[in-house]
Amino acid sequence: MAMAEPRDDRPSIAGLARVSLGHSELTVRPIGLGCMGMSQFYGATDDAESIATLRAAVDMGVDFFDTSDIYGAADGTRADIRGFEHLIGNALADAGTRWCLATKFGARLNEDVPTVAAGGHAA
């Protein structure tokens, strides 16, 4: 899929100074896109709309996306652990720019499934 042509009237953050993530050498623009709004937590999901939103964000200069493994886990169209991260990868594969994906893991939607912290201990 080809990326949409950037529109001249669309706002852009491309001119904003980049910031470092923690103590790493990785830099991103200071405005990112939180992706929970494209998950089942707000009702039915629409992959085409999510892809259009992700691509529009890239067109505006966004290069930092925040997601989680549960943002698609309960959805019939994104039913595996890769869920939304997989959709982001496919949507932005031909973006022509570098971008950063932040994620969280270990949350459970089912109270009967124990949550395990990153260190392997019960949370």
53-86, pLDDT tens digit by residue? 999 999 999 999 998 877 765 444 555 555 677 7
The distance from CA 34 to its chain's CA centroid, rounded to whole angstroms, is: 6
Q: Can you give the pLDDT at residue 41? A: 75
Please report the pLDDT score of residue 75 as a whole number.
44
Distance CA 93, CA 10 (A): 22
Tell me the pLDDT band of 90, cut-offs 50, 70 and 90: confident
List the catalytic residue out of 64, 71, 84, 99. 71
Higher-pLDDT residue of 28, 122: 28
Percent of the chain with pLDDT over 70: 68
- Is 71 a catalytic site residue? yes
